[in-house]
Amino acid sequence: MHGAGNDYIYVNTLLYNVPNPAKAAQEWSKPHTGIGSDGLVLIGSSPVPEADFSMRIFNADGSEAMMCGNASRCIGKYLYEKGMTTQTQIRLLTLSGIKTLALHLADVSSPTTETPGEVESVTVDMLEPSFEDPELYLPGRSRSEGTFVSMGNPHFVIFTNNIDQVGETGRILEHHPAFPQRCNIEFAQVISNGKDTTTIRTRVWERGSGITMACGTGACATAVAACMTGRAGRQCRIVMDGGTLDIEWRKSDNHVYMTGPAAFVFDGEIDIK
Share of the chain above pLDDT 90, in %: 86
Catalytic one of 68, 74, 220, 227? 68
Domain span at residue 111 reads 2-128
Asked whether residue 159 falls in the same domain as residue 169, the answer is yes
Distance CA 35, CA 255 (A): 35
Q: What is the mean pLDDT of the chain?
A: 93
What is residue 134's predicted lDDT score, i.e. its pLDDT? 73
Q: Is 236 a catalytic residue?
A: no
What is residue 136's predicted lDDT score, i.e. its pLDDT? 75
Does residue 137 register a pLDDT over 80? Answer: no
pLDDT tens digits along 193-211: 988 899 999 999 999 999 9
Distance CA 16, CA 44 (A): 10
Q: Is 74 a catalytic residue?
A: no
pLDDT tens digits along 222-259: 999 999 999 999 999 999 999 999 999 999 999 999 99
What is residue 145's predicted lDDT score, i.e. its pLDDT? 79
Instruction: Indicate whether 260 belongs to any domain.
Output: no
CB-based burial, 245-259: b 16+ in 10 Å, e otherwise: bbbbbeeeeeebbbb
In angstroms and rounded to an integer, the radius of gyration of the C-alpha atoms of the chain is 18
Which of the pair, 143 or 239, is modelled with greater confidence?
239
Confidence (pTM): 0.89
What is residue 108's predicted lDDT score, i.e. its pLDDT? 57
Asked whether residue 217 falls in the same domain as residue 185, the answer is yes
Instruction: For residue 27, give the CATH number of its domain.
Output: 3.10.310.10
What is residue 226's predicted lDDT score, i.e. its pLDDT? 97
Distance CA 244, CA 171 (A): 24
Of 93, 128, 163, the one marking the end of a domain is 128
Asked whether residue 172 falls in the same domain as residue 191, the answer is yes
What is residue 199's predicted lDDT score, i.e. its pLDDT? 98
Distance CA 89, CA 111 (A): 15
Q: Do you know the residue count of the chain?
A: 273
pLDDT tens digits along 51-82: 999 999 999 999 999 999 999 999 999 999 99
What is residue 273's predicted lDDT score, i.e. its pLDDT? 74
Asked whether residue 79 falls in the same domain as residue 33, the answer is yes
Distance CA 24, CA 38 (A): 12
Instruction: Indicate whether 261 belongs to any domain.
Output: no
Does residue 44 register a pLDDT over 80? Answer: yes
Share of the chain above pLDDT 70, in %: 94
Pairing of strands 154-159, 184-193: parallel
Q: Which amino acid is at 126?
A: M
Catalytic one of 183, 215, 227, 236? 215
Does residue 140 register a pLDDT over 80? Answer: no
What is residue 272's predicted lDDT score, i.e. its pLDDT? 83
